[in-house]
Structure 1
Amino acid sequence: MRTHDTQRRSVNPPPTDALYDRLHFSQATRVGDMIWVSGQVGVDTTTMAPAVGMDAQARLAFEGVRTVLEAAGAGLEDIVELTTFHTDLRGDMPVFSRVKDEYITGRYPSWTAIGVAQPALPELLVEIRAVAVAGCGRQDRSPTG
């Protein structure tokens, strides 16, 4: 896609297209090279049940982000901004940070972590949303450039 392309495209990889029809939101929206990924949570897509524990939920949420970005023509390396929502911000941060660093391994994006009281499902511990610029992570540039 060209950078000056302003066509808006919804991204809903299978099996998330049912959510689009039922709840009226896209897993991501792409305009040009910019991609906004909706919040991804630690739910197993085969059972639609939340995983148990921060480690498992964070992994499923990051896998969801990866799947959506790939369907949009990008990858985790293209994330420029990460926003995470935590039900136990202080208590779960060491585990979450360790998992995050397994998925995002360099050229770290801007990151905001927010404590929340009430996620969409009571069993959820974390939700991850991201903004990416397709192709920017593959550029050979310095971390500050």
Structure 2
Amino acid sequence: MSDTQFSTNKAPQPVGLYPHARRVGNLLFLSGVGPRKAGTDEIPGLKTDKHGNFIEFDFAAQVHSVFENVRVILEESGSSWDKLVDVTVFLVDMKRDFHIYNKIYAEYFKTNQPCRTTVGIVSLPTAIAIELKCVATVD
């Protein structure tokens, strides 16, 4: 069974020593993917003052960005959005953000509907409000 790791500079760099994705057989496992922009530490929808205090927060912008990052990693690893079979989402504020996530999720998954798990957590390693863990197939 083949085992290949993938990383790309078209997605945000991991915050630790791990690849963006790993293919085992015909399955592609993505490491946790957040909404940061590739090549920077910019978090879409998040504006802070010079002291790091929040000025503005747009959760929907983070959802769109994390979906784009997942799409890029899938394509760079030889898969695609329509081959996703499982999505686990981690939300820092389930009460505030779940309904927004659910609405945007429905826009992106009209035809392909992978299995899905949503987990509320206390925090993530950077100042992001969402992270996805995905599994897809590869031909």
1:105 to 105, 110, 122: 110
Over the matched positions of the two proteins, sequence identity in percent amounts to 23
Q: Secondary structure at the match of 2:95?
A: helix
The one-letter code sitting in structure 2 at the alignment partner of 1:100 is Y
For 1:107 and 1:17, the matched residues in 2 are separated by 25
2:94 to 89, 98, 103: 89
1:47 Cα deviation (Å)? Answer: 3.0
Deviations for 1:76-123, whole angstroms, at most 9, x for unmatched residues?
Answer: 1111110000011122112111222222222311110000101111x2
For 2:10 and 2:77, the matched residues in 1 are separated by 15
Q: How many residues align?
A: 127
Whether the 8 Å CA contact 1:9–1:29 is kept in 2: the answer is yes
The structure carrying a bigger helix percent of its residues is 1
What is the root-mean-square deviation of aligned Cα atoms in Å? Answer: 1.9
The one-letter code sitting in structure 1 at the alignment partner of 2:36 is V
Whether the 8 Å CA contact 2:11–2:39 is kept in 1: the answer is no
Normalization by structure 2: what TM-score? 0.82
Normalization by structure 1: what TM-score? 0.79
5+ residue gaps, structure 2, are: 46-57
Q: Does 1:59 align with 2:64?
A: yes
1:17 Cα deviation (Å)? Answer: 9.0
